[in-house]
Amino acid sequence: MENKSHAFAAGIFVMVVTALVIGLGVWLTRDRGNYNTYELSSREGVAGLQPQAAVRYKGVSVGKVTHIGFDTQTNGNVLIRIAVSVDAPLSPTTFAVLGYQGVTGLAYVLLDDAGQSYPPLPPGPSGLPRLPLRTSPFSQLSEQGPVILNQVQEATQRINQLLAEDNQRLLREALGNIGQAAGSVHTLSQRLDATVQQRLDPALAALPPLAQDARQTLQALQQAGAQVSATAAEFGQTAQRLNAPGGVIDQATRSAQTLSQAVDRFGTATLPRMERAADETARAARLTGRAATSVSDNPQGFLYGPGRSLPGPGEPGFTPPRPAGDQP
């Protein structure tokens, strides 16, 4: 009887301790926050997402996943129900996307804001508001995986074609030609070095004396330029003296004006007088000639006078001359 009482007491003690542990766990895991429930509907797979998974807004934990199932309103869609703290600053531009934690494959719901507002989604049969769920980058990567594999396979085939025997032979020939070209370039560089050493070096050595000669020539040109400048200054002074009032040019101008006035006076006064004197001299010469002719024809007239002249036509005693054929 005593053994049974000890066993009964031990059983009661274990049950009390178990109840206390369960109560302590419930008390420690209780959540006193206020939450709003939202729904997400997605046609994409939600692999790695489990109930009680974290819900984060811009990386800050604001809630958890409460339910994962199928959407009865849209066939083939997965329905996710989340509880979000009332303190989370959700807005009409808020959207959801699945995020993944490192290489573990565990997923969580990430909330973020877009640049523009989304059209409001109609609530589901439960009446809960819905948030738009974008396709995650990992889902896009998984969708593009076959395409990427096809491209990799095609690139591999092209590489195999590029590395075929014929292409390898052509590549070896190209490498040989490149080696020959490099040898030719090396030979050409050696020839250029020899040319530089044999021809250009003496020319370069002759440059300093040539530069000295050029410097001396430049100095001589500078001296000649200075002399030309001095000569030009002297010419300028001479021109100033010539052009000065009372100078040579001024005196020559005045002399030319005086000569011009003398020529004008000669043309206007002296020349007409000389012409009249010449006319009178010619008239006197004609009179003198007539007088000489008269004296020559009738010398006695100089002693006895001119005498009577024969009557002219119309005068008394005028006798017309006879023709030469009528003479006896």
Distances (CA, A) of 170 to 41, 182, 296, 306: 59, 18, 141, 149
* H helix and E strand count, the chain: 7, 6
Q: Compute the distance between CA of residue 136 and CA of residue 143 in angstroms, rounded to an integer.
A: 11
Q: Is 253 exposed, middle or buried (0-12, 13-18, 19+ CB in 10 A)?
A: exposed
Asked whether the beta carbons of 69 and 78 are under 8 A apart, the reply is yes
Average pLDDT, the chain: 77
pLDDT tens for 263-307 read 777 777 777 777 787 788 878 777 777 777 766 666 666 555 555
Name the residue with tokens 């040109």. Answer: 221
Q: For the chain, which residues make up each domain, given as ranges?
A: 30-134
Tokens describing residue 106: 């565990």
Q: Between vectors from CA 278 to CA 273 and to CA 280, what angle results, nearest 5°?
A: 95
Q: Which residue has the higher pLDDT, 190 or 57?
A: 57
Residues in the chain: 328
**Strand ranges inside the chain, DSSP E:** 35-42, 54-57, 60-70, 78-85, 94-100, 107-113
pLDDT confidence of residue 312: 64
pLDDT tens for 65-95 read 999 888 888 888 888 899 998 888 888 888 8
- Give this prediction's pTM: 0.39
